[in-house]
Amino acid sequence: MRADGWPDAVVLRGVTESVVTTLGPNGQWNLAALGLRAPEVDEVGGERVTARTWGRTRTWRNFDERGEGVVQFVADPRTFVDAALSIRETVDPVLSEAAAWVRVDVTELDSGEDGGTTWVDWALTPTEATVRERTVPTFNRGYGAVVEATVAVSRLDVSGYDRPTLLDRLRWLESVVERAGGPAEREAYARVREYADADW
């Protein structure tokens, strides 16, 4: 375990994609995609991992009301698509397919608005962590294309983004999945199409 409380096996660089579960008012754990920003040195010399939520989502509400969540690292692109683009809830905060998970306390750092959408930056402080799998990491280009597609779909109805440009990007990403992805990535992209309120 590192000094900042994150497991040694969890390497964070740039914006690392994860799945987060947060407890809702119905007693269910809501899944969502959450980009983790690599640790930065703060004003008192410590390091912290941060994340940004966009809009008044379930994750934002649950972070605001509960002050905690469970960050999880999954290799299955289908799980990521479900978390990013659908409403999925579970009774258990930890997914069976999570290779590692970290329970975090969250503290609001900053907030603002961009393109008509509100955002909030949160500091994530680990309180408990478990690493279930230690594997040799491999990935294909299709996996990255699936992740990028979820971002593009989430922006289709945001006024600050050009819809035709996003649809062109989704067509190109689909071609990457077809050329360079495996069966899991192709199935995940089919789910992207299913969840998106658009055709391309």
Burial of residue 94, with CB atoms counted within 10 A of its CB: 0-12 exposed, 13-18 middle, 19 or more buried: middle
The residue among 155, 21, 28, 7 whose CA lies nearest residue 83 is 21
What domains lie within the chain, and their CATH numbers?
Answer: 15-131 (2.30.110.10), 141-195 (1.20.58.290)
Residue range 63-78, pLDDT digits in tens: 999 999 999 999 999 9
Listed in sequence order, the residues at least 6 apart from 148 whose beta carbon sits closer than 8 Å to its beta carbon are 169, 173
Residue 28 is classified by DSSP as: P
The residue among 155, 158, 160 whose CA lies nearest residue 170 is 155
The whole-model pTM stands at 0.86
- Map residue 93 onto helix, strand or coil: coil
Q: How confident is the model at residue 3 (pLDDT cuts 50, 70, 90)?
A: confident
